A and B are shown apart, each in its own frame.
Chain A
Amino acid sequence: MIDFWIILTASLVATTTAILGCFLIMRKMAMIGDAISHAVLPGIVIAYYISHSRASFPILIGAAASGMVVTYLIQFFHQKVKLQQDASIGISYTFLFAIGIILISLFSGNVDLDQDCVLYGEIAYVPLDNLSIGGLYAGPRQVWILGTTLIIISTSVIVAYRKLVLTTFDPAFASAMGISVVLWQYYLMAGVSLTTVVSFESVGAVLVIAFLSGPAATAFLLTKDFKKMLYLAVGFGISASILGYYTAVWLAGSIAGAIATIIGLQFAIAFIYIQFLKKARISETLENKALTEV
């Protein structure tokens, strides 16, 4: 049963992040997940300081708030100050992360809070924190939280699919049609903030970032249809979760590490496959040409 819960947790995170990841990589913003997962630190510390508890709800609110702050900062530096997108991301999240570290060191004397416990969730612990409804065992708490997140994100993406695709592909045209590019940017980023925050609490920051960019990038190599790219990315995310878990069991190693490695391998295989396909296609056309010339 432990196997099942861990794989389910990873798959839920994989599905949500893969969907968002497809939009992010097409917007050249894949590293926004990295930014948000670090930038939430001050929000978490402040929320903890105010509520004096490690209950997840206030922490979640604090994290989501600083997630939106970093999104706003990135947008502001990029659009108003005309700084490059990657530079805006770099400066914004390191700044907020640094503030978070200072806050932690200020409070650390009398507080049970450190970088490890806020930044690096451990997926192996997921089955230990269970929820019971009316005295009945209802599965790990994280599974419920992540399941709800998945429903929220996928519904939001389905509802706004056309606008999201249009503002991703051709923002100027979308804007000329009266669609607010900035509004849909924030809509997407709010989703990324929520997902990153709830996910890294259960699977750790590194795996969240790997899930956000890896499966979407692999899917991008293999298809030229955005809808198929979404399905493929989800498929790669889930299969990496299953394969990664059993690899970790087999090696008796870190689960998050193994899943992230599988994500990397999937990309490598897809890349080699594409190169092979290209070569085959070129030699085929050459042969056809030779035949017609004869």
Chain B
Amino acid sequence: MKPSVETHNLTVIYDKKPAIWNIDFTLPTGKIIGIMGPNGSGKSTLLKAIMGIIEPNIGYSKLFDQDLEDVRNKVSYVPQRQSVDWDFPASVWDVVAMGRYATKGLFKRLSKEDHRMIEESLNKVNMTPFTNRQISQLSGGQQQRVFLARALAQNADLYLMDEPFVGVDAATEQAIINLLKSMRDEGKTLLVVHHDLHTAQDYFEHMVLLNSRLVAEGPTSEVFTKDILTETYGGTLTTLSKVASVLQEKDFPMRHK
């Protein structure tokens, strides 16, 4: 099976300080993969470097064994919700329609097929009743659903999501994870930046643990261990105690379905 994402010596440096340093991994396809690490560990930078939004100083990445340019329309990127101005005058439909623009030329009108995909995507995230709602009137969770619908409308094989669970209500979080699981079941690969250790084990089958450099990468059962987590999060007391409490309860699943 082709690897979904592979990076080679990927390095991004901001102001002489490396944000990510020598990242080298090969990720499987058809899995929900978590990118975990403390604040400022370069999680978002890693996604941006893979998507070519930031030019890496050293190294390169390949998607499905090809260069990004050749597979762009098979890859979808979901930015952090807070990265855009939600006061922009647009409706939910307008934003989701942006997902269809990539494959369209400068002038081409959206076809019936495009409209169908936009409606279907909205339906999958339960936002159909809000189709004509102005985006400034949405809650945080609804904004995140709109971003996901836009990604769904791209109909990609690989999704890179930057903190999709931040600032959303519990119901939305559950809805999103269910959606991700059903996408995975369709054979899609999902690479998700996440920072909540409590839920990580339940959500991800595979993990990348990052602290500027790559600490570990592999199936969750192998890499979500005390030693690796301490190495990833080590340094700050609060996160250390968090890690300790996670490990204490490790034998007991924290979320019952």
Contact = CB atoms under 8 A, between A and B. Distances in A.
Interface SS of chain A? helix
Interface string B97-125: 01001101011000000000000000000
B171 to A, nearest CB: 24
A176 interface: yes
Contacts of A169: 84-85, 88, 90, 95, 98
Interface in B186-241: none
A225 interface: yes
B89 A172 contact: no
Interface in A151-175: 159-160, 162-163, 166, 168-170, 172-173, 175
Contact of A178 (B15, B72, B88, B107): B72
B164 to A, nearest CB: 14
A25 to B, nearest CB: 11
Contact of A175 (B53, B88, B90, B134): B53
Given A162-B106, A176-B53, A177-B102, A170 B84 contact: yes
Contacts of B91: 224-225
Interface in B9-23: 15
Given A176-B51, A224-B136, A26 B102 contact: no
B79 A166 contact: no
Interface string A39-69: 0000000000000000000000000000000
A229 interface: yes
A178 B98 CA distance: 13
B88 A226 contact: yes
Contacts of A26: 85, 88-89
A175 B106 contact: no
A162 B88 CA distance: 14
Interface string B129-143: 000001010000000
Interface string B42-83: 000000100111000000000000000100100111010001
A159 B85 contact: no
A162 B160 CA distance: 23
Nearest to A160: B106
A229 B94 CA distance: 14
A178 B83 contact: no
A159 B107 CA distance: 7
B106 to A, nearest CB: 6
A223 interface: yes
A267 interface: no
Interface of A: 26, 82, 159-160, 162-163, 166, 168-170, 172-173, 175-178, 220, 223-226, 228-229
10 contacts: A163-B106, A166-B98, A169-B90, A173-B77, A175-B52, A176-B160, A177-B102, A224-B90, A224-B134, A228-B89
Interface of B: 15, 48, 51-53, 69, 72, 75-77, 79, 83-85, 88-91, 94-95, 98, 101-102, 104, 106-107, 134, 136, 150, 160
Given A178-B69, A226-B88, 15 more contacts: A26-B88, A26-B89, A162-B101, A166-B101, A168-B88, A170-B79, A172-B77, A172-B79, A172-B83, A175-B52, A175-B53, A176-B76, A176-B160, A226-B89, A226-B94
